[in-house]
Structure 1
């Protein structure tokens, strides 16, 4: 399934506090699950992908996020907190579609969180294939709440072990405090190739993670320039050069009115 890698990502995220074997869950579905948490210090890591599964696999895997990251033994686990209230998969996919107005959508899938039962999942996510006239692209989103005080971990620090492959990038910035983001937020921008060494026909993934410093609420949006996640030779070839939205547009969307109710519910 082309999207399993991303959904696995989300799965990892939920399991950050449970410690399951994500690899068995989806063979790399949503890779960060928000597994993405590329934790940089030593720790136990159930590494597989996360979010990708969100799309094609409409998997009901508890707590998953969208993106694709391979876990490693040198990652630090990030503590998750229970979300304030339930967020449905339908809410996630509806907000995701509003983020790309005018687009055509297919293979839409979502995953709810369950605040009343940690085993039901701490991460809500959604994914779909977008056709905006510039080439089909898989996009996925996940939301989770980190425990305070925030520590180095997924979406909070670009440092990682092992080092990122040549060509992959990561940058950090901060948003000032505002009515929408009390206390400000930490923003991580990542770009990764689906396989190494990357070539002209290697698909790429752009990930933007926004973490509200005062609440621990976190939103992560992943965009592919192909129709799905996956890894290596299993990743669909690029269908476009650039992602549907620029990094700045993604930040504006995740901190805008469309995602405000969801960010408020999780944090």
Structure 2
């Protein structure tokens, strides 16, 4: 098997991420399956050198993945095969459509492979957005969790320890035509370094999980041009994320991402 194939498979099965101690952009969401993506992405980056570094800057699932190491007590969430393939182009287009009127650069994406677990069940898209208020990295990852849902990463704030100043909240959305069975929503804010100062970048993560199917979308937003870990994270380019938590939830549960959720489960 070629190096490119090995690398692609490793990245496919990678997490914050876009997570923390800084979870980063490729978390995602992105990143989701964040713990798995983070660990495996870190391993790939360590072995592949400059080539992986380029992917880390460009890829989405890496912010959370590059965000930090796997925390003690953090549980991997068992994943299920998506119903149909989601391409990297679909993910990038959906991210763009989430920010109409924005200017985009450094776009990267990853397809999933429902027919082959070793090929990866996570799809993602990420880019650097210029919306007139400062550049920001934004990425979304898509995966499906096995049912019944467990009390783990992306579903519970108690899944791993959090540094002082970082925040996490879990809420629920009621069942509706768009969200049959309702959904769990987890919102997080994580500093790239602790203690956080005026030059410390932050990551905002919103994870939406459908309770009836396990379909999960995770959006990661930075107030800088990318993720990383500690001093590797670019300095802030704006005070906050492009979308508030409420706006991010509305986007992920709206018409733009409905086809992606349907493809997942």
TM-score of Structure 1 vs Structure 2, range by shorter chain: 0.7 to 0.9
Aligned to 1:57: 58
Give RMSD over aligned pairs.
Answer: 2.5
Aligned to 2:14: none
1:92 counterpart residue number? 91
Distance (whole Å) between structure 1 residues aligned to residue 82 and residue 93 of structure 2: 19
The answer to whether the aligner puts 1:218 opposite 2:216 as a matched pair is yes
After the TM superposition, which residues 32-51 of structure 1 pair with which residues of structure 2 at under 5 Å, given as runs?
none
Cα–Cα, structure 1 residues 123 and 72, in superposed 2: closer, same or farther, change >3 Å?
same
Q: Determine the structure 2 residue equivalent to 1:44.
A: none
CA distance in 1, matches of 2:199, 2:263: 40
State how 1:110-125 maps to structure 2 within 5 Å: 110-125=109-124
1:211-250 map, 5 Å: 211-250=209-248
Q: Which residue number in structure 2 is paired with residue 13 of structure 1?
A: 33
Q: Do residues 25 (structure 1) and 44 (structure 2) align?
A: yes
- Residue 46 of structure 1 corresponds to none
Shift of 1:74: 1.9
| Contact 2:58–2:107 (8 Å) recurs in 1 | no
SS at match of 2:154: coil
Query: Which stretches in structure 1 are left out of the alignment for 5+ residues?
Result: 28-51
Q: Aligned-pair distance for 1:225?
A: 0.2
Q: Give per-residue Cα distances to partners, 1:148-206, cap 9 Å, x unaligned.
A: 00001121100034x31111000011000001100000000000000111111100000
1:220-256 per-position Cα deviation (integer Å, ceiling 9, x unaligned): 0000000000111110000000100010000100000
Which structure has more helix as a fraction of its residues?
2
1:20 to partner: Cα distance: 7.3
Is it true that 1:79 corresponds to 2:78 in the alignment? Answer: yes
Residue ranges of structure 2 left out of the alignment (5+ in a row): 1-16, 19-23, 47-52
The number of residue pairs the alignment matches comes to 235
Partner of 1:179: 177
CA distance 1:12–1:224, shift in 2 (3 Å): closer
Query: 1:252 maps to which residue?
Result: 250
**In 2, Cα distance between equivalents of 1:160 and 1:13:** 13
- Deviations 1:86-106, CA, capped at 9 Å, x for gaps: 000000000000000000000
In structure 1, distance between residues paired with 2:234 and 2:182:
37
The 3-state SS of whatever aligns with 2:89 is helix
Contact 2:27–2:34 (CA under 8 A) maintained in structure 1: no
After superposition, the Cα gap between the structure-2 partners of 1:86 and 1:53, relative to the gap in structure 1 and judged at 3 Å, is farther
**TM-score (norm. length: structure 2):** 0.82
In structure 2, relative to structure 1, the CA distance for the partners of 1:242 and 1:57 (3 Å cut) is: closer
**CA offsets 1:71-123 (integer angstroms, 9 cap, x no match):** 12322221100110000000000000000000000000000000011111110
